[in-house]
């Protein structure tokens, strides 16, 4: 006899059905993004249903977070790609694909060999441990040799960018990204690096400018260059000649009273500007508007003003110049002023910008991106951000490994060796982990249009015969020496991919019930 324990509109999937639903969802997500993997990967064009906005990208995390998904297992993979993006900045597609391949292998083991999910999880743990140990053993660390380390960073940037839209100009952008990261002196705070996108020109016209650039210009009749700048950065109202409260009306019975009102407002504004002048500054930057009268007063005091600086720009500027954003002006002695050697107006393209040279923080720099369309510039920014993130993490975790499927095949070899020392059905799970790892170079070869079975079998043979630097040269479709070709990846990135993917697969393998609650009703008291 069956008993109904769930309320109305609550559905339940059990045992095999639940497991199948989880596997299908996760594998579908993996298949969705796997064509974007590698230097010859394809892009996805995402079209918004509610607007005309479209997005062209091959970034795994961007694709997955832009697509509304219904399957709960698919959402787990979306989450791990987001975590990978936040933690390392790249490898989002790799982690999703590896998770999906691990689940595909697990599905075969459950279906064909009737192995219990817990046995598979134990096998995967043994395999993941062996893989990470092998990865650590082949990692190279050049942090003590500055020239070699810089070379490593450039090669990592090239490898990261080779699968992005910037691949045509990867030498230029790799150099640009490395220079920007080395200016940070070991910091991982990318807020010091500003990226400005300007339509027009082509990608190769992009450049790195040492200094901070703000997309604003000085007020009228103010000098276009300031030396030894003392900067007060504020978020205050300097537009008091308008009624702030919506719908408020003033009634006066004569024009003289109106004139009195205006005079009172002007006096109040004058007092405020006097307070600002006591800070002994020569540049005032405001987050909000500055109307003509306060601008005139500031000019009379010999203070250059910049109005309506965008909030992110203001925050970054405060960070770069060593100042802080203030909103009241009663305590000049407690306020930290921003400092820089000089400020000048410059032209980029057809726009006027303000450049801050010699900022106190020293590390500040701006990357100017040029391109023909908004979609191109957005994708170029995402690609460059990935490269910058990976490089900044590499300055902390300085070890590197070889790319082009070399690291995956070395890990696969180690896992196969570990499988020989495992008894019973667990050894099958360990072997399937090795197969999932080999799928990554297979997908790389497939996306490049080569015969993957032939290429990967040659690579496997080379690695298993002790050539530990062999990998896929996807430009020529042959097995090449990755250290000679300079195809290098961050050790931290690879480690995060393997550990996150195996943990995600483990989470989904434990699922044996999927319970969907009823939709939330208008009556919030009712659960």
Catalytic residues: 59, 92-93, 386
Q: Please give the C-alpha separations between residue 340 and each of 80, 201, 323, in angstroms, as whole numbers.
A: 41, 30, 10
Distance CA 440, CA 444 (A): 6
Distance CA 392, CA 402 (A): 18
Q: What ranges in 286-404 are assigned the alpha helix state H?
A: 292-300, 311-321, 374-396
Closest-CA residue to 381 (of 77, 62, 80): 62
Would you state the structure tokens that stand for residue 280, as one six-digit string?
């002994």
Whether 224 contacts 344, CB under 8 Å:
yes
Would you state the structure tokens that stand for residue 447, as one six-digit string?
């996306």
Map 377-416 to HEC letters.
HHHHHHHHHHHHHHHHHHHHCCEEEECCCHHHHHHHHHHH
Would you state the structure tokens that stand for residue 73, as one six-digit string?
């297992």
Distance CA 272, CA 298 (A): 11
107 DSSP 8-state letter: H
Whether 473 contacts 480, CB under 8 Å:
yes
Distance CA 241, CA 290 (A): 11
Distance CA 453, CA 481 (A): 19
Would you state the structure tokens that stand for residue 358, as one six-digit string?
């010699």
Angle value at C-alpha 23, between 20 and 28, nearest 5 degrees: 120
Closest-CA residue to 61 (of 382, 329, 487, 353): 382
Place of tokens 């990976």: 390
334 DSSP 8-state letter: G
Residues in the chain: 527
Q: For residue 24, how many other CB atoms are within 10 A of its CB?
A: 15
Distance CA 478, CA 448 (A): 12
Q: Please give the C-alpha separations between residue 407 and each of 138, 168, 240, 369, 403, in angstroms, as whole numbers.
A: 8, 25, 63, 33, 6
Whether 475 contacts 460, CB under 8 Å:
no
Q: Residue 344 in 3-state DSSP?
A: strand
């Amino acid at each position: 006899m069956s008993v109904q324990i769930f309320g109305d509109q609550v559905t339940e999937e059990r045992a095999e059905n639940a497991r199948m639903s989880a596997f299908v969802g996760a594998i579908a997500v993996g298949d969705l993004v796997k064509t974007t993997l590698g230097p010859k990967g394809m892009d996805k064009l995402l079209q918004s249903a509610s607007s005309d906005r479209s997005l062209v990208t091959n970034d795994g995390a961007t694709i997955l977070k832009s697509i509304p998904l219904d399957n709960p297992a698919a959402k787990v993979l979306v989450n791990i790609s987001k975590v990978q993006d936040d933690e390392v900045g790249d490898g989002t597609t790799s982690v999703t694909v590896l998770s999906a391949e691990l689940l595909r292998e697990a599905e075969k083991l459950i279906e064909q060999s009737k192995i219990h999910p817990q046995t598979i999880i134990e096998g995967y743990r043994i395999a993941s441990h062996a893989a990470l140990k092998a990865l650590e053993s082949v990692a190279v660390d050049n942090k003590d040799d500055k020239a070699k380390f810089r070379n490593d960073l450039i090669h990592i940037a090239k490898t990261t960018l080779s699968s992005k839209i910037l691949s045509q100009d990867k030498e230029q952008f790799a150099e640009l990204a490395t220079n920007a990261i080395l200016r940070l002196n070991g910091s991982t705070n990318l807020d010091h690096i500003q990226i400005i996108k300007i339509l027009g020109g082509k990608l190769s016209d992009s450049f790195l400018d040492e200094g901070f650039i703000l997309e604003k210009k000085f007020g009228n009749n103010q000098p276009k260059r300031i030396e030894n700048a003392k900067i007060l950065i504020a978020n205050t109202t300097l537009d008091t000649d308008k009624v702030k409260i919506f719908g408020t009306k003033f009634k006066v019975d004569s024009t003289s009273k109106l004139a009195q009102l205006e005079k009172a407002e002007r006096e109040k504004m004058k007092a405020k500007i006097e307070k600002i002048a006591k800070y002994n500054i020569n540049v005032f930057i405001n987050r909000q508007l500055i109307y003509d009268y306060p601008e005139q007063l500031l000019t009379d005091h010999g203070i250059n003003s910049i109005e309506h600086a965008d909030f992110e720009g203001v925050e970054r500027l405060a960070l770069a110049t060593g100042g802080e954003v203030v909103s009241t002006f009663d305590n000049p002695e407690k306020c930290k002023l921003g400092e820089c050697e000089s400020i000048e107006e410059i032209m980029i393209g057809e726009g006027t910008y303000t450049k801050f040279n010699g900022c106190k923080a020293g590390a500040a720099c701006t990357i100017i991106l040029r391109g023909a369309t908004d979609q191109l510039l957005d994708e170029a920014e995402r690609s460059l951000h990935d490269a910058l993130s990976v490089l900044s993490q590499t300055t902390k975790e300085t070890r590197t490994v070889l790319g082009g499927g070399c690291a995956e095949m070395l890990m696969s070899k180690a896992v196969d060796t570990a499988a020989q020392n495992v008894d019973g059905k667990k050894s099958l799970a360990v072997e399937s982990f090795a197969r999932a790892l080999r799928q990554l170079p297979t997908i790389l070869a497939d996306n490049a249009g080569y015969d993957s079975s032939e290429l990967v079998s040659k690579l496997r043979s080379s690695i298993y015969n002790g050539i530990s630097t062999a990998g896929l040269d996807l430009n020529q479709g042959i097995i090449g020496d990755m250290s000679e070709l300079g195809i290098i990846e961050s050790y931290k990135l690879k480690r995060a991919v393997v550990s996150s993917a195996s943990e995600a697969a483990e989470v989904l393998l434990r699922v044996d019930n999927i319970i969907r609650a009823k939709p939330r009703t208008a009556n919030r008291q009712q659960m």
